[in-house]
Amino acid sequence: MQFNGDTAGNYNAHAIEANGSSVSAQSQTSLTIVNLGGPFTTQTANAFGGSVIDFLDYADTNKYKTVRAIGGQDLNGYGTMMFASGLWRSTSAITSIKMVSGGTGWAQYSSFALYGIKG
């Protein structure tokens, strides 16, 4: 994921990830992209991964932007589950979000929805 077209190394991320038998954690800094969806594989028999990502205080121009995510994919015998958070080191309001796959592209019927939550 990238914000406002920023492709520089302004992203940090850390996550805890499980694969059905073990759990691991990871932390990365100065990324050019923030991974919040989990390591999805090629879709099998119409089994798609899913992610829910929260952008907190996305329009505040006084702070860096923090996001958090829960994501995973289960393929009936293989699966990954992930909690992640990310930081975009910019005080700019988020006005665009680019969802980036890891090189293989999004499969047909992948869907994306963005909702606003107003206090």
Partner 1 sequence: MASTYTPIATTTLGSAAASYTFTSIPSTYTDLVLVFSGTLSSADYVCMRVGNGSIDTGSNYSHTDLSGNGTSASSSRSSNATYFFTAPMNTNQNNMIINFQNYSNTTTNKTALLRWNTPLTDGGATGVVGAEVALWRSTSAINQIRVLTYAGQNFNTGSTFTLYGIQAA
Residue 62 makes contact with partner 1 by CB under 8 A: no
Residue 96 makes contact with partner 1 by CB under 8 A: no
Pick from 50, 57, 60, 63: which binds partner 1 (CB under 8 A)?
Answer: 50
Select from 1-9, 27-35, 67-75, 97-105 the region that touches partner 1 (CB under 8 A).
67-75
Min CB(8)–partner 1 separation in Å: 30
- The number of CA neighbours under 13 Å toward the Cβ of 69 is 24
| 8 versus 52: smaller Cβ distance to partner 1 | 52
Alpha carbons 56 and 117: distance in angstroms, whole number:
10
Min CB(32)–partner 1 separation in Å: 27
Tokens for 66?
């923090």
The sign of the dihedral angle between the CA atoms of 34, 40, 41, 47 is negative
| 26 versus 32: smaller Cβ distance to partner 1 | 26
Alpha carbons 6 and 104: distance in angstroms, whole number:
21
Q: What are phi and psi of 58, to 5 degrees?
A: -65, -25
- List contacts with partner 1 (CB under 8 A): 16-23, 45-52, 70-77, 79-83, 109, 111, 113-118
